[in-house]
């Protein structure tokens, strides 16, 4: 996985006319974590995880802990000293061996990196044997600072959970207002990937309670997400509640829109992605992390 592109990625690169750029970007994919990246991970209080549940639904979620909860005992291994809360849609998957895609993001410095591999539960956390380690640019990351708050009941507290098959009016408002979400996908073999999407509030359009659309902005030409969707449309979205610790998880299917007239109507869009919602899980007060108000990236295109 670390030294070549998959057929879906190549197909999208060719259609976008970016095969040359993609060949250069391939140098940013490896299968081990270098020391500077290990130090970056050790500073983080959160990592995003994507995977597929036993029903074939793809989800994305977050795991959190005090800095140091992400450790690299060996360049080919990441240890995560955390597991999902019981209400999380990936809790069952991560209780056993799983294929996972992960992205660590540091909003305060606009840095991020992706790691994909096979996870195994160990000692109340996960050991991830790595297949891919991917360097990503800082574009479209909103600057934020993190803090931890005390919550009554601690780890054993009960959390309000809302499940459905379409977005409620309040959930639609959350999606419209977001400046950041994460998307999980898988390739034809089931290998998972998790990626970041950012923009000014309103960059995600709510076309209906079960249909979302967002622009695919100029990126690194790898097309790891769109390449997965080319042959396997299942996808999961995670929208963090930066100010209140909530989690909004969506599972469904996605497709790339190549229509030039539709693309031209959205500022900055190179392509569009439409996501059909199949399942929704919203968890109140899911984590103790809270984040400051955002400083928007200067790379964010305007929103029409």
Query: Would 33 be classed as within a structural domain?
Result: yes
Distance of alpha carbon 274 from alpha carbon 204, whole angstroms? 10
Q: Give me the chain's average pLDDT, please.
A: 95
Which residues lie across from 17 on neighbouring strands? none
| Domain assignment present for 299 | no
The residues, ordered by sequence, that sit 6+ positions from 18 with a Cβ below 8 Å of its Cβ are: 221, 223
CATH of the domain at 28: 2.30.110.10
Q: How far is CA 141 from the centre of its chain?
A: 12
Does 2 reside within a domain? no
User: Can you read off the two tokens belonging to residue 8?
Assistant: 């879906």
Q: Does residue 226 sit within a domain?
A: yes
Mean pLDDT of 237-246: 97
- Side-chain-facing half-sphere of 143: CA atoms under 13 Å: 7
> How far is 129 from 118, CA to CA, in rounded Å?
5
CA distance 301 to 87: 36
- The residue written with tokens 């030039």 in the block is 260
- State pLDDT tens for residues 62-103: 999 999 999 999 999 999 999 999 999 999 999 999 999 999
Query: To which H or E segment does residue 42 belong?
Result: helix 35-42
**Is residue 79 a part of any domain in this protein?**
yes
- In a domain? residue 298: no
CB-based burial, 123-155: b 16+ in 10 Å, e otherwise: eebbbbebbbbbbbeebbbbbbebeeeeeeeee
Nearest CA-CA partner of 213 in 161, 172, 155, 162: 172
Phi/psi for 276 (5° steps) reads -100, 120
- Is there a contact between 127 and 79 (Cβ–Cβ < 8 Å)? yes
Cα–Cα distance measured from residue 89 to residue 250, given in angstroms and rounded to the nearest whole number: 10
Instruction: Name the percent of the chain in helix, strand, coil, to the closest 5.
Output: 20, 40, 40
Q: What is the pLDDT of residue 158?
A: 75
- Average the pLDDT over 38-48 and give the result: 97
Assess if residue 99 is contained within a domain.
Answer: yes
273 pLDDT higher than 50: yes
C-alpha atoms less than 13 angstroms from C-alpha of 199 in its C-beta half-sphere = 24
11: part of which helix (H) or strand (E)?
Answer: helix 7-16
Q: What is the pLDDT of residues 115-132, one digit of tens each?
A: 999 999 999 999 999 999
- With H, G, I as helix, E, B as strand and everything else as coil, classify residue 192: strand
Q: Provide the residue range defining the domain that includes 119.
A: 7-291
pLDDT band at 3, cuts 50/70/90? Answer: low
Domain membership flag for residue 165 = yes
Total domains in the fold of the chain: 1
């Amino acid at each position: 996985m670390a030294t070549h592109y998959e057929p879906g990625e190549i197909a999208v690169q060719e259609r976008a006319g970016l095969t040359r750029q993609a060949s250069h970007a391939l140098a940013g994919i490896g299968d081990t974590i270098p020391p500077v990246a290990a130090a970056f991970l050790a500073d983080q209080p959160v990592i995003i995880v994507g995977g597929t549940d036993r029903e074939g639904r793809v989800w994305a979620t977050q795991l959190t802990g005090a800095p140091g909860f992400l450790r690299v005992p060996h360049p080919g291994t990441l240890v995560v000293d955390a597991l999902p809360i019981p209400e999380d849609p990936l809790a069952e998957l991560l209780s056993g061996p799983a294929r996972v895609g992960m992205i660590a993001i540091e909003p305060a410095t606009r840095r991020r990196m992706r790691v994909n591999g096979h996870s195994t539960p160990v000692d109340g956390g996960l050991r991830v044997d790595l297949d891919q380690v991917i360097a990503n640019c800082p574009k479209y990351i909103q600057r934020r600072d993190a803090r931890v708050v005390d919550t009554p009941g601690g780890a054993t507290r009960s959390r309000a959970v809302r499940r459905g098959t379409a977005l409620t009016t309040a959930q639609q408002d959350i999606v419209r207002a977001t400046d950041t979400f994460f998307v999980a996908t898988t390739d034809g073999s089931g290998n998972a990937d998790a990626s970041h999407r950012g923009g000014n509030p309103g960059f995600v359009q709510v076309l209906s309670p079960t249909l979302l659309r967002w622009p695919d902005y100029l990126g690194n030409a790898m097309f790891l997400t769109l390449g997965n969707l080319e042959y396997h449309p299942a996808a999961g979205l995670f929208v963090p509640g930066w100010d209140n610790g909530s989690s909004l998880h969506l599972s469904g299917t996605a497709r790339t829109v190549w229509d030039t007239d539709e693309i031209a109507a959205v500022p900055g869009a190179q392509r569009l992605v439409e996501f059909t919602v199949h399942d929704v899980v919203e968890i109140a007060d899911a984590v103790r992390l809270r984040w400051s108000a955002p400083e928007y990236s200067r790379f964010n295109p305007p929103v029409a």
